[in-house]
Amino acid sequence: MKGKGNDGTGNNEERDGWQTSQELFNKLNEQYDFGFDCCASFENHKCDNWTSDFEEVEYKQIHETCWMNPPFSKAKEMFQHFFKVIKSGVAIYRCDNMETKIWQEDILKLADWIFIPKGRISYEGKVGKGSRFPSALIGYNVPPPKLDMEGTILKVWK
């Protein structure tokens, strides 16, 4: 097993199956009307249109607003592809260490906004109470969320 540090080494396969809670997805879907789930499986997809092989999706092939909860073990690759192939979307990812390469080289350079909720987001498919790290919602070519959740929206200047 890889380390449990906040340096990105905690992005291990054991967390790949963590699913966005249906409650959070429903709140976001009310605003964004997601049409495509980028990193899903038959068991956990949130949209009618989905793929378990997101890296095979071609440049701007997807025209719907996308949702992405990437597998932790492939998060960097998934975010690089997300910003390359979709027109608009929202993703969720851990934000306990924003100086990591994934944040500095990918997310912060390309996202339009980041919403950091107060408290921890609960994931389905995880044993125990919530995650041990904070999470953030990341927006690309969509307005910030209008949620009934406390938190902070960071606007990214490019």
Percent of the chain topping pLDDT 70: 82
C-alpha 61/C-alpha 144 separation (Å) is 24
Q: Which domains does the chain have, with CATH numbers?
A: 13-155 (3.40.50)
Instruction: Identify whether the C-beta of residue 92 lies closer than 8 Å to the C-beta of residue 146.
Output: no
Q: Is 90 exceeded by the pLDDT of residue 16?
A: no
Q: What is the pLDDT of residues 46-95, one digit of tens each?
A: 999 999 999 888 876 788 999 999 988 899 999 999 999 999 999 999 89
* pTM exceeds cut of 0.95: no
Instruction: Identify whether the C-beta of residue 65 lies closer than 8 Å to the C-beta of residue 35.
Output: yes
SS3 (DSSP) at 61: coil
- Cite the beta strand spans of the chain per DSSP E: 19-20, 36-37, 66-68, 89-94, 113-117, 123-124, 135-140, 151-155
Q: Is 70 exceeded by the pLDDT of residue 45?
A: yes
* φ/ψ (deg, to 5) at 61: -70, -25
- The one-letter code for the residue type at 153 is I
Q: Which pairs count as long-range contacts for 81-84, CB under 8 Å and 24+ apart, including other chains?
A: 81/54, 81/55, 81/57, 82/38, 82/54, 82/140, 83/110, 83/140, 84/59
Closest CA to 90 of 28, 44, 135: 28
